[in-house]
A and B are shown apart, each in its own frame.
Chain A
Amino acid sequence: AQTVTQSQPEMSVQEAETVTLSCTYDTSESDYYLFWYKQPPSRQMILVIRQEAYKQQNATENRFSVNFQKAAKSFSLKISDSQLGDAAMYFCAYRSAGNTDKLIFGTGTRLQVFP
């Protein structure tokens, strides 16, 4: 069975600085998808970024980028130029490329942003 591990329960960063959130996963599959979701206090789950395992290039969305290391089964999220609005819970999630809708989530990292 696949598992997702987020070893940092809490992180903090100063506004305008850069922070990296860690995620590792375990799977025997070769084809899969990885996601980072943001959950602000409003409770809404918001997709931040997505990575297909077959792509070697790391995904980037504006200030958000990932470091995807397939062999090491690592999928970290880098937030550049942090803003107060980035404060939230961040969840790493895994999805098989098979015919399934199942997402497997990590336990989350709470990010605080200080002015």
Chain B
Amino acid sequence: NAGVTQTPKFQVLKTGQSMTLQCAQDMNHEYMSWYRQDPGMGLRLIHYSVGAGITDQGEVPNGYNVSRSTTEDFPLRLLSAAPSQTSVYFCATSRGLTEAFFGQGTRLTVV
């Protein structure tokens, strides 16, 4: 089992470019989330989904879009990248009230 797979692992973008961070899980978990990790700030929730077709905003949603068309996939879209979006991004999944399982993260740099 691969668990939670994030791609790419590293990415450099120019300001204004768009891109999609991919997250795929083979654990059949209904819950999926995206977090960003910044120095000194821990992890903060961007968007989350409680099932296919259902998404909601977290603590820091501005500048990001998500969709959940299948149980397995939960992509995060940056429509127009800004330097403030330089961060490490984590996708996480869970089933019900169990602990979250994280992908290996994507380090994104916006120049």
Contacts and interface: CB of A to CB of B under 8 A. Distances in A.
Interface string B29-67: 001110100001111110011100000001000000000
Contacts of B100: 47, 101, 103
Contacts of A107: 40-42
> Is chain B's interface secondary structure helix, strand, loop, or mixed overall?
strand
Interface residues on A, range: 20 to 34
Interface string A81-115: 00000000001010101011111111110000000
Interface residues of B, number: 26
Interface of B: 31-33, 35, 40-45, 48-50, 58, 88, 90, 92, 94, 97, 99-102, 104-105, 107
Interface of A: 4, 9, 33, 35, 42-45, 47, 50, 91, 93, 95, 97, 99-108
